[in-house]
Structure 1
């Protein structure tokens, strides 16, 4: 698809892709459709571009490591009555080539041409490298 945009977000508290998946799995019973969500205060202004094929790229321990397709944006209101955006995600997590990313707050738009490629089929379950080696290889563009 063309004319789409992705989001990028820090996965705060995740130690690895596996812990992100485990956390999302633990919350499945909260949602009728079983799809994971990320609730954010800000509603994306580029909603139509996001919903035209965009994904959320997760930064874990300073490295982009995976992505999930964005299915829809749902309005949710907390007990405080404030309108928030639930970014509803496909449960399938696609591991990506590693790319270093400096810390930032909230989410950001990420152009398709700036996104790391998905890992080839069969490499998704490779043993994880130690964090320091992972960062060093990402830093020189090997992973």
Structure 2
């Protein structure tokens, strides 16, 4: 889709795609509509591009492993009175090819040309390879 940009974010504390899915499944209880969100301090300046077909790519254990489509951005106010951005996500994680990513703080923009490709639909339910192995295989063009 032309004119869009993605976000990339570390999934701190999760060990696997399944772990992130389980956390989102329990965290939904905090939101009246049950749709997962990630709350962040910074509002994307390129919000229109993010909302024009962008996804959030999740880095787990040093590798991009999955993504979620971004539905909208909601303003939320924390208990401390500070305005924050809730990135509202389409439920369900889409596995991608594994790509190494060094740690960083917050989220970053990810150009679509640099985004890992989705695994084929028949591979979405495969048992996950260890991230290091998946990354090595992707690097040589096997995955």
TM range, normalised to the smaller chain?
over 0.9
CA distance, structure 2, for counterparts of residue 80 and residue 101 of structure 1: 32
Stretches of 4+ aligned residues off by more than 3 angstroms = 138-143
Residue 53 (structure 2) pairs with residue 36 (structure 1):
no
Measure how far apart 1:108 and its partner are: 0.3
Match of 2:137 in 1: 137
Q: Deviations over 1:78-110 (max 9, x none)?
A: 111011000000002110011111111110000
Residue 48 (structure 2) pairs with residue 67 (structure 1):
no
CA distance, structure 2, for counterparts of residue 135 and residue 113 of structure 1: 18
Match of 2:4 in 1: 4
Measure how far apart 1:39 and its partner are: 0.5
Match of 1:84 in 2: 84
Match of 2:125 in 1: 125
**8 Å Cα contact 1:65-1:95 kept in structure 2:** yes
CA distance, structure 2, for counterparts of residue 96 and residue 30 of structure 1: 28
**8 Å Cα contact 2:98-2:131 kept in structure 1:** no
Structure 2 residues not aligned, in runs of 5+: none
Output the aligned Cα RMSD: 1.3
Measure how far apart 1:6 and its partner are: 0.2
Q: Tell me, what secondary structure is at the counterpart of 2:136?
A: helix
Q: Tell me, what secondary structure is at the counterpart of 2:123?
A: coil
CA distance, structure 2, for counterparts of residue 126 and residue 117 of structure 1: 16
Count of equivalent residues:
143
Measure how far apart 1:19 and its partner are: 0.3
| TM-score for both structures, normalised by structure 2 | 0.94
Structure 1 residues not aligned, in runs of 5+: none
Measure how far apart 1:135 and its partner are: 3.9
Measure how far apart 1:137 and its partner are: 2.6
